[in-house]
Amino acid sequence: MSGGRGDDRGLTVRVKKKRGLKASSRRWLERQLNDPYVRRARADGYRSRAAYKLIETDDRYKFLKKGDRVVDLGAAPGGWCQVAADRVGSVADDIRVVGIDYLPVEPVIGATILEMDFLDEVAPGLILAELGGDPDVVLSDMAAPTTGHRRTDHLRTMHLCEVAADFAVRTLRPGGHFFAKTFQGGTEQDLLNLLKRNFTTIHHVKPPSSREDSVELYILAKGFKGRQAEGDDAAAEQDEAGPLG
C-alpha cells in the first residue's frame, strides 16, 4: 500500500435527481463521490475509507508492530485487515492477521477471514486456532445496523464494544493493545472501568478521517497488564470490604 494522499482535487460531483431515487440516497451518493478519503482509498488500493482511521491512529500511537498477531472484529469489507497485514508483516506463509464478519469479505493477502458472527459462542475459539496464538492487538470496528434512533444505536454499538473488550481481556498477550469503535454520548462506565483495570493507558480518539458530523469515536487501550489483573483487583476489593459472613 502506498499510503499516499492521492489527488484530492477535483470538481464537485452532483448526482442528478432521478425518479425513484430518494433525496437522502442522492445526498449519500454525492458525499461519497466528493469524499477525498474515498478517492484516496481507491487510489491506494484500500477496500474503504475506514482504512485511514486505523492508519492515522497507528501513525500517532504506534501500536501495530512487525511480527504482531492481530484480530480484526467486524472485518468487512477488509480495509483494516489490509492495513494490519501490511504493518505487522503478515504474509501467505506466515498469517498473523485473522478477521471475522458475518458479511462476506473478499480475500485479503496476508489475512485469514472467518465468515461468521463473532457473537457465536464458538467464534472466539476458532479465531485463536486460526491465529496460532494469543493476539498482540485486538481491533474492533463492529457497529450494529442503525435504526435511526440515536440512543438505541448507541446502546447496541456499545454492547458490541463491551463484547470486544471482554474478548481482548480474555485473550491478549501482556503488553497488548485494544482499539475499538464506540459512539459519542459517553463511554459506558462499566466498560471504562474494565479497561482502566486491565490496561496502562486509555485514549479517546477521533481520527481526522472520521467525518465531523459522525457520532463515532474510537477508544484505544494500550499496555494490557495481563490476566492476573482482574484477579488481583477482585482480591483487593474483598480485602478492603473485610471477610464475608
Catalytic residues: 181
CA distance 26 to 11: 17
**Residue 185 annotated as binding site:** no
**Residue 10 annotated as binding site:** no
CA distance 126 to 237: 34
91 DSSP assignment: B
**Residue 141 annotated as binding site:** yes
Given the C-alpha cell 475506514, which residue does it identify? 50
Q: How far is CA 116 from CA 16, 24, 83, 99, 178, in A?
A: 38, 31, 21, 10, 21
CA distance 81 to 84: 5
**Residue 101 annotated as binding site:** yes
Grid cell locating 113: 477471514
The amino acid present at 100, given as its one-letter code, is I
Contacts of 148 (CB under 8 A, 6+ apart): none
**Residue 78 annotated as binding site:** yes
Least Cα distance to 215 among 187, 192, 178 occurs for 187
Strand 199-205 vs strand 97-101: parallel, antiparallel, or unpaired? unpaired
Output the known binding site for S-adenosyl-L-methionine: 78, 80, 101, 117, 141
Output the known binding site: 78, 80, 101, 117, 141
